[in-house]
């Protein structure tokens, strides 16, 4: 009887640990990149640069080639649905917070290749990379 209880406890712990590992594993579709890595990523062919800041932020300054889809707009998800999910996307915001929040939406919609700019446009500028108006 003692052996059975120990076996059940061990089996339960094993299942729990595999669940925890599954929850914290990094999704291969989403890659967090530094500003230095991002500089190389945006040079790739067929990459879409997506700025999810507000239109006001976007029109002040942006990474060259970026298109704007406002994270705070009520149509954000509908706008994402119009994008080709098989393309490669480089996504950024001001500090990285909105982009982190948006990653679950990208994943739920079936996007397969997303680069997230860690520390956002703030980190980009701090590393000396240029913006356009």
CATH number, domain containing residue 59: 3.40.250.10
Is 66 a domain residue?
Answer: yes
User: Per residue of the chain (133 residues), what is the pLDDT tens digit?
Assistant: 655 555 444 444 444 434 433 333 367 789 999 999 999 999 988 899 999 999 999 999 999 999 999 999 999 999 999 999 999 999 999 999 999 999 999 999 999 999 999 999 999 999 999 999 9
pLDDT of residue 87: 95
Neighbouring residues of 72: CB distance < 8 A, sequence distance ≥ 6: 54, 98
pLDDT at 28: 78
**What residue numbers bound the domain in which 84 lies?**
28-126
What was the pLDDT predicted at 19? 41
* Residue 98 belongs to a domain: yes
Report the number of distinct structural domains present in the chain.
1
Is residue 53 one of the residues assigned to a domain? yes
Residue partners of 110: CB distance under 8 A and separation at least 6: 85
Q: What is the pLDDT of residue 9?
A: 45
> Within a domain: residue 99?
yes
Could you tell me where the DSSP H helices lie in 2-132? 2-24, 35-41, 55-60, 76-81, 97-108, 120-126
Q: pTM of the entire structure?
A: 0.78
Q: What gap in Å lies between CA 24 and CA 19, rounded to an integer?
A: 9
Question: Domain for residue 38, yes or no?
Answer: yes
Report the distance separating Cα 57 and Cα 96, nearest Å.
14
């Amino acid at each position: 009887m003692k052996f059975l209880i120990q076996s059940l406890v061990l089996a339960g712990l094993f299942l729990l640990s595999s669940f925890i590992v599954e929850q914290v594993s990094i999704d291969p579709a989403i890659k967090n990149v530094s500003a230095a890595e991002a500089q190389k990523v945006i040079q790739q062919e067929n990459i879409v640069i997506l700025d999810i800041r507000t239109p006001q932020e976007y029109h002040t300054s942006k990474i060259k080639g970026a298109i704007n889809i406002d994270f705070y707009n009520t149509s954000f998800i509908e706008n994402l649905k119009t994008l080709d999910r098989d393309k490669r996307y480089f996504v950024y915001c001001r500090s990285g917070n909105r982009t982190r929040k948006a990653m679950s939406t990208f994943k739920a919609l079936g996007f397969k290749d997303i680069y997230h700019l860690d520390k956002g446009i703030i980190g980009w500028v701090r590393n000396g990379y240029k913006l356009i108006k």
